[in-house]
A and B are shown apart, each in its own frame.
Chain A
Amino acid sequence: MRSKIKKNHEFFELSKFRRRFTLLVLLTLFCILFSRAFFLQGMQRDFLQQEGFERSNRNVELYAYRGKIYDRNNQILAASETVRSITMEPNRVEFKKGDKNKLANLLEVKIKFLNKKLKSKRNHIYLKRKVDPKIASKILALKIPGISTEKDYRRTYPDQEISAHVVGFSGNDGNGLEGVEYKKNNFLSGTHGYKKILIDARRRVVDNLSEVSVPVDGKDVHLTIDKRLQHIAFQALKKTINDSEAISGSAILIDSKTGEILTMVNYPSFNPNERMRMRSPFVKNRVITDAFEPGSTMKPISIAAALEKRVVNINTKIDTGNGYYKVGRTRITDTKPHGIISVKEVLQTSSNIGVAKIAEKMSKKYLWQTYSNFGIGNLTGANFPGESKGVMRDHDTWKKRDHASASYGYSVSTTVAQLARAYTPFANKGEIKNLRLFKNDPIKIGQRVLSIKTSEAVLKMMESVTEEGGTAIQASISGYRVAGKTGTARQFINKEVGYGKRGEMKYNASFVGLAPASNPKFIMAITIEDPSKGSNYGGVVAGPIFSRVVSEALKIYSIPQDEIEIKDEIGNEKKEI
């Protein structure tokens, strides 16, 4: 047994040389390991730690949602939707046969574009941003190595061209560029957050590291716009412009009691979802930004000023002569001779001479002050970007002809929104209301600019405009009494040609109306630029738009019908509801 053990011992016993050699090899290996460890942990520590962090730590952006824009009934006018961005890692890309063509087709780009991107030295590039998720999933289905998608957000406008001028649009970076998107950008846009995460070898998020900034979502904006009426107004405006072959048109409908803007439409319009097809002249909200000479729609204000000053009463007779009247070198004309007519008839027949003669009875300063009180030359309070104040020169600079022409809407210019606001005193017993587009804006108390008696008298006179013998019978609404005033104003071309030669003149056809006249709930102002087919009179062109839109508004808001005097078969007058 002992000999056997000895034999084993002898078997494992190494020679001195072997032992030393083995020890040397082990020592050498240890030295190599030690020096490598020293090199890595001592000399390259920072670099390696950095590399390690880069592999396991990630900064992740936490998206803050941009607020939505709603109408008064909580219908979405603008919101952000999820889309995908197509990314490429050029070093990893390997196309199989036909894949490149398919990818180019899906992205709607040329092969040249892809080839150029493939040559890029960057590790991560965007092929196309904000792609429809359906297209993105088709691209992913191609399973091209190095092609992937990232989540992104795109602003979308379900109302498309109908509310485009009000809502505006935002850029690729999400910042508002026009309209409410621009005006309320700070309110709508939130603050993106980020967090530092730790990922494991399987790229799973396993921990949140200390640096975390919480995302703050943008706030929603509620407008006073009514999407239903907006649609009706847009369709009516579009039809009129197409039928009359006009250049453009704008309309605004307001709640006369609160000044809330219910519709604000322009045509031609643009689709904010298709930024590439936008044409800049049609992007601005012309209801607010474009000033024009309002023409006869100013007459009720001039007459109200005269009644308030008591220089005339509604039965005062004005001699409008044979339809021609000279003020200085300027000749004022009527469409036809009206002879001697009452103040009420001056408004009903829209006599320029009549209203100019009434204006002559007042001082320039008083007339100017009245216009100013009615908001001409002032902002409407709608708080909309790019709003024009219009033009109303100081009364000191008015010549005699300006004094006369201002009374029938020349020598001053207003926006459509200003015109609508200027009629609020007739609906509110003499109080003017500020316009309001944002639900959260405080309601301002109206300012008295007319006595109750005068405002009611002018309202009553304006009713005759939509009745038999008036200039806007087309604006009447079955079952309701309507008050209003038409305007057919020549367009000022430039200083050299002025308003142009007879036959070459361009007109703005306008109408401002209130309904129901018994207690006006709605005021609508419409202007159509240069209607060239058929009539160019405000009552004929713009009147039907008023009738169409306001009749729907009266139904939607359940406004009771007016008492209307109806003649029975024998001819007796009786009041019916």
Chain B
Amino acid sequence: MKLNLILFSLLIVFALVKINAHHLYRVNHHALEIEKRKTIDLKDEQNQLLIEESSKSGNGRISEYAKSKLKMNPPDKKQKRVIK
């Protein structure tokens, strides 16, 4: 009878431990999923920034700014002089 009670108590304890472990697994898995999503978001952001960098550093944009804001123009043939 005593042994049965001990075994029954153990059974209850192990069952609770299993439930807790499963719960912890789910909590951690959820946290992992959030981190994975963050990774994807960061990858997307990196892509976005690369595209932005490429657009902003485009030769067309730079030459437009150089012409309009800095009043820079490529010299024509008459203005060029070869340095001997």
Query: Closest A-chain residue to B59, C-beta based?
Result: A231
Interface pair A479/B26, CB less than 8 Å apart:
no
- Residues from chain A with Cβ under 8 Å of B43 in the complex: 65
Within 8 A of B (CB), among A46-73: 63, 65, 68
Helix, strand, loop or mixed for chain A's interface? mixed
> Using a CB-CB cutoff of 8 Å, which residues 45-74 of chain B contact chain A?
47-48, 50-51, 54-55, 57-60, 63
Q: Which range contains the number of A residues in contact with the other chain?
A: 20 to 34
Decide: B77 and A208 in contact? CB cutoff 8 A.
no
Given contacts A205-B33, A206-B29, A207-B26, contact A566 B84 (CB under 8 A): yes
Provide the bound-state CA to CA distance between A566 and B84, in Å. 10
Cβ of B3 < 8 Å from any Cβ of A?
no
Considering residues A156, A158, A231, which has the most beta carbons from chain B within 10 angstroms of its beta carbon? A158
B38 at the interface (CB under 8 A from A): no
B58 near A79 with CB under 8 A, answer no
Q: A205-B33, A231-B60 are in contact. Are A81 and B47 (CB under 8 A)?
A: yes
Residues 286-306 of A contacting B (Cβ, < 8 Å): none
Per a CB cutoff under 8 Å, which of A81, A159, A208, A547 touches B58?
A159
Q: How far, in angstroms, from A75 to B56 measured CA to CA in the complex? A: 12
Do B33 and A158 touch across chains, with their CB atoms under 8 A apart?
no
The answer to the question of B80 belonging to the interface, with a C-beta cut-off of 8 Å to chain A, is yes
Residue of B nearest to A205 (CB): B33
**Candidates A82, A200, A479, A561; contact of B48 at CB < 8 Å:** A82
Interface residues as binary, A546-564 with B (CB distance below 8 Å gives 1, 0 otherwise)? 0100000000000001001
Query: Considering residues B25, B43, B58, B80, which has the most beta carbons from chain A within 10 angstroms of its beta carbon?
Result: B58
Nearest CB of chain B from residue A496's CB, rounded to whole Å: 44
Is A76 an interface position by the 8 A CB rule? Answer: yes
Quick check: is A257 within 8 A (CB to CB) of the other chain? no
Enumerate 9 A-B pairs (CB-CB under 8 Å) in ascending A order. A65-B43, A81-B44, A81-B47, A206-B29, A207-B29, A231-B59, A231-B60, A479-B82, A576-B84
Query: Can you add 4 more A-B contacts, CB < 8 Å, to A207-B25, A207-B26, A207-B29?
Result: A63-B40, A204-B33, A205-B33, A231-B59
Interface residues of B (CB under 8 A from A): 25-26, 29-30, 33, 40, 43-44, 47-48, 50-51, 54-55, 57-60, 63, 77, 80-82, 84
Interface residues of A (CB under 8 A from B): 63, 65, 68, 75-76, 79-82, 156, 158-160, 162, 200, 204-208, 227-228, 231-232, 235, 478-479, 547, 561, 564, 566, 576
